Amino acid sequence: MEGALTARDRVGIQDFVLLEETNEAAFISNLKKRYSKDLIYTYIGTLLVSVNPYKELDIYNKKQMDTYMGVNFFELPPHIYALADNAYHTMLTEFNNHFILISGESGAGKTEASKKILQFYSVSCPSTTLMSTVRDKMLMSNPVLEAFGNAKTLKNNNSSRFGKYMDIQFDSQGDAVGGHILNYLLEKSRVVHQNHGERNFHIFYQLVEGASDSLLQQLGLERDCQHYNYLTQVCMVWFLIFSKKTLGFQSKNNKNNYNKNKTFFDTQQRQKFLDFPQQLLGVDAHSLQEELTFRKIEAKQEQVHTHLNHAIYGRDALAKAIYGQTFTWLVHRINDSTENKDASKKTVIGLLDIYGFEVFYVNSFEQFCINYCNEKLQQLFIQLTLKAEQDEYEAEGIEWEPVQFFNNKIICDLVEEKHRGIISLLDEECLRPGDVTDLTFLERLEEKMGNHPHFRGDFRLLHYAGEVTYCVVGNNPILFLFLISHLDQLQVIMTFMLYLQVATQFKSSLLKLTEMLMAKQAWYIRCLKSNESKQPGQFDEALIRHQVKYLGLMEHLRVRRAGFAYRRKYEDFLKSSCCG
């Protein structure tokens, strides 16, 4: 197959394992050399390194797909299709489950990579009419999910603001027969607030720009984003656009459904805005108005005007809740239409495309969860590659010079350890009687974590990928001062309970995810961001070096070079040798 290589393909070294020198400078120089010729893929053994080209490359066409189908991994120049094809064929021969872990920071190219893989399977797997329908649905679900779950951030014009794990189900013939999506932690706060230079979820702008006049009229919307606070931070109505069926808001007087969600309308706009809930959510306008602008003092059976800030807070809470439910509903609908209910045994290839590590000027509770998730995935990578392989050599008494690596378990523990980690501390603080504020939480953090090498004062964490300061005082979620100063006691407790639930639920859903992944055979794509300004042809060496470092690529290379080139699980080897 050497003959299939063009002169261009020969630029640099295609597999870092074959580099003569294994220092960082040689590694980066090889990446740069290849990147300058639009060769964005390079291997470290079977791990694929991908550098974002920020331009369309003619390497994803049908001809390329055909070239890579059924060909041995190392026979052709590195490509994402080679990895996808190998995972698929290994699954078929070993009849086991696989997953492809796509990681990298925000804007590095993870979502694009997962789309390329899906497209490859949609062309390369055998198909019948029924299968094609399932496949079409899976492919078509992507733009819909992106519309509702992606947004422009400073780092990426199309950033995934939720985590997605998609299982593609195959039958024993290798036909793609179904799919299932698990979604994680949608960044709901974006619905009501965006950092400077960022936008709300795409769907809002798409609707205003693209909906027919009659649909806009039906929804009571105008074709101008400037009219909407949640898109421009001036006025609001957005959250009312979804149908009551979607949202699960039902009867007129079912106060429980929206009891704790209050909204504020100024006098002139009030009636206009209150018509929308009536029309779209099926809630009575008057009751909603009461709920939004009055509160009852239970002891005295009095009604008093809600403070403006309470009402705004309630309005935003309602908007976030509605959007969150809509998104969950959407994922369920997609799953209903793509899931294969036939009970015969299937194997799966899972694609994990989860938000990348991020640092913003203001980092909220959601960034905390996102970065914690990235820590967990890095830990999984370390466990499955650097640690497991070295442990195995040691256990089997194979001569081996240990490769040192930074094990981020210490950071995962800092966040999640039972009774001692930050999440436990948050839980405790939420449940503690007495005055609980941002400051008490910060004090507790400093008291308990002050000496930890990855904790700095003021809720600054030294993550594996960099230092992040989380906002505890201001208008973001873990905000105890904000809550105390603006909400009554009951709401404070309710909101604490909410964060308590979110953090703890997120922790357990990540635990489930990692357990699920550990039970599958892993393939890795490490995406690197080539520059901060999203420009084609720019290779920012310092930025790349930083990513190479924190992703542990040099350590992975050292283990790959020193370790056995071909490694297989004993059981799989036995199965294929005896029964093959």
Report the catalytic residues: 106-107, 111, 156, 159-160, 356, 358
* Closest distance to ligand ATP from the beta carbon of 55 (Å): 6
Q: Which helix (H) or strand (E) holds 47?
A: strand 47-51
Of 187 and 316, nearer to ligand ATP (C-beta) is 187
* Closest distance to ligand ATP from the beta carbon of 439 (Å): 33
Secondary-structure percent of the chain, ordered helix, strand, coil, rounded to 5? 55, 15, 35
Q: Is 508 in the site for ligand ATP (CB under 6 A)?
A: no
Of 283 and 380, nearer to ligand ATP (C-beta) is 380
* Closest distance to ligand ATP from the beta carbon of 113 (Å): 7
| Contact between residue 74 and residue 91 where contact means Cβ atoms under 8 Å apart | no
> Is residue 450 a known part of a binding site?
no
Q: How far is residue 310's CA from residue 30's CA, in Å, rounded to a whole number?
A: 57
> Is residue 110 a known part of a binding site?
yes
Cα-based torsion angle of the residue sequence 123, 126, 129, 133 in order, rounded to the nearest 10 degrees:
-50
8-12 LR contacts (CB < 8 Å, sep 24+) = 8/37, 8/39, 9/39, 9/77, 11/36, 11/37, 11/39, 12/39, 12/42
Give the residue, chosen from 79, 110, 135, 520, that forms a contact with ligand ATP under the rule CB under 6 A.
Answer: 110
Q: Is 249 in the site for ligand ATP (CB under 6 A)?
A: no
* Closest distance to ligand ATP from the beta carbon of 375 (Å): 15
Give the residue, chosen from 527, 544, 548, 553, that forms a contact with ligand ATP under the rule CB under 6 A.
Answer: 527
Q: How far is residue 488's CA from residue 28's CA, in Å, rounded to a whole number?
A: 56
Residue 192 tokens, joined: 């009501």
Cβ neighbors of 493 (< 8 A, separation 6 or more) are none
Of 108 and 430, nearer to ligand ATP (C-beta) is 108
Residue 499 tokens, joined: 């964060």
> Is residue 106 a known part of a binding site?
yes
Task: Annotate each residue in 125-164 with x if it binds ligand ATP (CB under 6 A) or - if it does not, as one string.
Answer: -------------------------------xxxxx----
> Is residue 272 a known part of a binding site?
no
Which residues, 25 to 64, sit near ligand ATP by CB under 6 A?
Answer: 52-57
Q: Is 408 in the site for ligand ATP (CB under 6 A)?
A: no
Q: What is the DSSP letter of 227?
A: G
Q: Is 104 in the site for ligand ATP (CB under 6 A)?
A: yes
> Is residue 111 a known part of a binding site?
yes
Between the alpha carbon of residue 376 and those of residues 48, 432, 502, 545, the distances in Å are 20, 28, 17, 22
Q: How far is residue 221's CA from residue 241's CA, in Å, rounded to a whole number?
A: 8
> Is residue 107 a known part of a binding site?
yes
Task: Annotate each residue in 352-371 with x if it binds ligand ATP (CB under 6 A) or - if it does not, as one string.
Answer: ---xx---------------
Q: Is 77 in the site for ligand ATP (CB under 6 A)?
A: no
Using DSSP bridges, classify how beta strands 98-103 and 347-353 pair: parallel, antiparallel or unpaired.
Answer: parallel
Q: How far is residue 317's CA from residue 508's CA, in Å, rounded to a whole number?
A: 24
Residue 102 tokens, joined: 């796509």
* Closest distance to ligand ATP from the beta carbon of 542 (Å): 19
Residue 201: strand pairing partners: 151
> Is residue 108 a known part of a binding site?
yes
Angle at 343 between CA 337 and CA 344, to 5 degrees: 115
Of 441 and 506, nearer to ligand ATP (C-beta) is 506
Give the residue, chosen from 14, 111, 347, 491, that forms a contact with ligand ATP under the rule CB under 6 A.
Answer: 111
> Is residue 434 a known part of a binding site?
no
Binding site for ligand ATP (CB under 6 A): 52-57, 104, 106-112, 156-160, 355-356, 527
Annotated binding site for ATP: 104-111
